[in-house]
Amino acid sequence: MLGDSRRPVLLTPGFWWIATALLSTYAVVDAHLGHLTSVFERVAVAVPLGWAVSSWLAYLFASLRYQTLDVRSVRAAWLVQAAIGLFHVWLVQRRRKAGHEPAGTMRDSPARSAKVAPHGPGMGFTALTALIVWPMVSSRFLRNEPDGSVSSGGATWADLPFHMNIAASFLYGTNREFDYRRTEAAFYAGSRLVYPLLPDFHAACLLVSGMSWRMSFLLPALFLAVSASALLYAVNWRLTGSRAAAVLSVLLVMCAGGTGSFEHWIERGWSHATCVAWDVDPVQADREGGRQEILWFAYFGHVFLPQRPATYAIPLILIVILLLVLAMTEGVPLQQSAIVLRLAAFVAGILPLFQAHAFVGAVILCSVLFIMDFDRWYTHMDLLWRGWLTAAFIGLALSAPQLPVYIGRVASSREQRGFLRFSWTAMSSFNSGFWRTWFRALTLHVPVYTLVFGIVSVVLLAQALADLERLFGVRGYFPIVERIQNRVVHLLWGLAPAFSGPSHYWRLKFFPAFAAVFVFCNLFLIPPWVKDNVKLVYIWLFQAAGVVGYLLVRLWRRGGPLGKLLTPLILFFMIFSGLLGIRREWGGVTAELFTPAHQEVGEWIKANTHLRSVFLTNEGHSSPACALAGRTLYSGHLGWVWSHGLRDCYEREQFQDELLRGEGRNGTELLNQLRYLRVSHILLEPEISDPEFEGAFEESDVWLGYENQGWRLYFIKDVVLDDRPIESISREQLYFSTGVSLVALWMAVMCMWYFPCVFASQEIAEDGNDVVPRGPVADRHTKTL
């Protein structure tokens, strides 16, 4: 069966490949970050980063060396990653024997406290996440039923065939032979794949390595969900200093869901709001008119599980955030900050082909944090050259060759617009107003974060004026500014002491960075769908949930009896819809995805048709020709095509309707058109009535070649497939991006080793053999109470 493993998972080469990737990456992380992080954090980083790097290595070997995906690419990636891991194990042992351990954190600093702190609550909640996620992945990813069919559920039921189509195209179909420039969108014949393909390419690699379809999707989703939970906990533990707040942040993100369930409750009653049914989504609360829908924030049901780029990108962007937090934490030596920034740039640089939204978010975060860190790198230029600038060029060198994949993306088939589109009203008017839109989508997150950000902004502005006076002699820190700052600092100390005081100033720098992501989401669309911007909003939500969680902990501990009454009520209000959404994903709503006939038809097509064949079908999303056999569709499910901004999709749909309609057809013209379009087969589902091709075409030109339980496969004569035109990245685009990458790599080398020697004129403070930044703990000019 489709979902069965051919042999135990532990005995497949694919399992040992991903296990090697995990262990190898853990060795690398331990070598470079072991003195700054706990074992809990290093394991959480190793899982997604190891699998991302292994996917990249296999893709590079397949596209540049072998021009096909087979076991050779996986084996080569396996050997390279194993060699890297063994080298770092040897490096760590050599350091220990020689007594050359990396510089540790400053004593009595936030960095030291975070390094030595126990993570029992985080490990416990991570284990709980595994228990929560298992029923969902088990029921969503190709579950076998007793009658031989394969089922799924929720949004995963709708999206999974699309991802199977991409994976199968590398295994059996048009992308069986491919290179970096030419990867066809198998759901839209002749078009280049403008999509982050590495998550589905990773699934194809696991299939090549002996895993089943089910395990190739299920295992990554399970382990990446657990690691994302651990990473989110680690990030907010470091940003708030509170374990309880960090746990709540994970809960608030996983159960974000807005007011949908309450609207169901008010309009149709409690039993309707809490029932598990296909037509009841407690998060979306769909209504007529589209504009009345709620932006989807069901973490597992709408984003993490069905959207496989999000499955990989969410933990990867959390790694970037964690590394940025480590680099800017008070007490981390300057030299170590620079190293961590370079590591963050490496992770950000591999993001584009996992998810474009995550890459855009990483660029925004790094750009704003670079500005916010001015007080450190201006007075310690080594951090500028070897840290921020080297990191920027590393990220550019890695990402530039990936960006041509997205060149040519349009808003829709009828709108010739670019990948980004400015639209300051698209998000705010989704529910007829900014505050109404975001309250319905995320309840109190936006109002609470806006309040805290307003207070933090005053502190940061006053501190910026103080720094201008200290560094440049620009008069701006007047007595009235000092008085305002003192009052606001006093207010902040009472509201959130984790963000107040000189030793915690570094945490405030992250507020403008995450706020910039949220502002960007409200001003720019990554077209064509407004709801796709939710992928970016989640990056902001990672910090916002930590802030809200911290304030809820403060309310519980400091609010007296009233606080203990309000805290659970507020928490219930914020997570109720999301909890019901998770309950809905626990297997209660499933549907048949592939019947036994589906699977038989897919196997026959795979064995008896040319790998470059083009199939014309109806608009069904689970066609066995593409999802199971990897063959190319003339035009796939309209939702897929439209959401990827592909041109002429409505014209293709009209042609399909004309062909299958059976009225007033000109057989000669249609046959010539089919040959011109290189359509070699027509696959009809049992639900489609007989199109009466016999009356429109000669039997020698179009004939029924295969039939199975109502499925009918027609062959079309004299269709040339070997030289079928497929859009590709132009040589000029590839040469330009490669040139940018090489120049950026050269500039990274110059910033690392040449420019610091030429422009080395900064003041440093010596602490043994380590260069320590003179931050807020040392001599910061900060006006506080």
The top-scoring range by mean pLDDT among 133-142, 428-437, 459-468 is 133-142
* CB burial of residue 408 (10 Å; 0-12, 13-18, 19+): middle
Average pLDDT over residues 239-259: 94
How many angstroms separate the CA atoms of 444 and 439, rounded? 6
The whole-number pLDDT of residue 456 equals 94
Q: Is the pLDDT of residue 3 over 90?
A: no
The whole-number pLDDT of residue 269 equals 81
How many angstroms separate the CA atoms of 460 and 505, rounded? 9
Average pLDDT over residues 390-411: 84
Q: Do the Cβ atoms of 259 and 581 come closer than 8 Å?
A: no
- Which tens digit of pLDDT belongs to each residue from 678-697? 999 999 998 888 787 877 78
Q: Do the Cβ atoms of 219 and 210 come closer than 8 Å?
A: no
Average pLDDT over residues 281-292: 61
- Gyration radius of the chain's alpha carbons: 28
The whole-number pLDDT of residue 766 equals 44
Residue of higher predicted confidence among 99 and 578: 578
Residue of higher predicted confidence among 289 and 431: 431
Q: Is the pLDDT of residue 784 over 60?
A: no
The top-scoring range by mean pLDDT among 169-183, 359-373, 492-506 is 359-373
Confidence of residue 733 (pLDDT cuts 50, 70, 90): confident
Confidence of residue 290 (pLDDT cuts 50, 70, 90): very low
Angle at 614 between CA 611 and CA 615, to 5 degrees: 115
The whole-number pLDDT of residue 289 equals 38
Coil, strand or helix at 465: helix
Confidence of residue 765 (pLDDT cuts 50, 70, 90): very low
Q: Is the pLDDT of residue 150 over 50?
A: yes
Confidence of residue 615 (pLDDT cuts 50, 70, 90): very high
How many angstroms separate the CA atoms of 428 and 437, rounded? 6
Half-sphere exposure (Cβ direction) of 386: Cα atoms closer than 13 Å? 20
The whole-number pLDDT of residue 104 equals 57
Q: Is the pLDDT of residue 291 over 70?
A: no
How many angstroms separate the CA atoms of 52 and 160, rounded? 20
Average pLDDT, the chain: 86
- Which tens digit of pLDDT belongs to each residue from 109-132? 566 566 666 778 889 999 999 999
Question: In Å, what is the CA distance from 448 to each residue of 185, 220, 261, 435, 452?
Answer: 43, 34, 21, 12, 6
Q: Which candidate, 245, 367, 304, places its Cα nearest to that of 534?
A: 304
Q: Is the pLDDT of residue 761 over 60?
A: no
The whole-number pLDDT of residue 724 equals 85
- Which tens digit of pLDDT belongs to each residue from 347-359? 999 999 999 999 9
Confidence of residue 486 (pLDDT cuts 50, 70, 90): confident
The whole-number pLDDT of residue 1 equals 54
Q: Which candidate, 183, 62, 181, 66, places its Cα nearest to that of 734?
A: 181
Q: Is the pLDDT of residue 461 over 80?
A: yes
Coil, strand or helix at 412: strand
Alpha-helix residue ranges (DSSP H) falling in 677-749: 693-696, 731-749
Confidence of residue 71 (pLDDT cuts 50, 70, 90): very high
How many angstroms separate the CA atoms of 374 and 113, rounded? 25
How many angstroms separate the CA atoms of 162 and 154, rounded? 14
Least confident of 64-73, 149-158, 535-544, 766-775: 766-775
The whole-number pLDDT of residue 774 equals 40
Would you kindly state where each structural domain of the chain is located, as residue ranges? 9-243+308-349+356-400, 595-716
Are β-strands 632-633 and 614-616 bridged in parallel, bridged antiparallel, or unpaired? Answer: parallel
* CB burial of residue 703 (10 Å; 0-12, 13-18, 19+): middle
The whole-number pLDDT of residue 6 equals 64
The whole-number pLDDT of residue 4 equals 61
Coil, strand or helix at 625: helix
Count other C-beta atoms under 10 Å from residue 661's C-beta. 10
The top-scoring range by mean pLDDT among 274-288, 614-628, 691-705 is 614-628
The whole-number pLDDT of residue 772 equals 42
The whole-number pLDDT of residue 25 equals 96
pLDDT above 70 as % of the chain: 89
The whole-number pLDDT of residue 629 equals 93
The whole-number pLDDT of residue 776 equals 38
Confidence of residue 565 (pLDDT cuts 50, 70, 90): very high
Q: Which candidate, 302, 192, 231, 236, places its Cα nearest to that of 41?
A: 231
Residue of higher predicted confidence among 6 and 120: 120
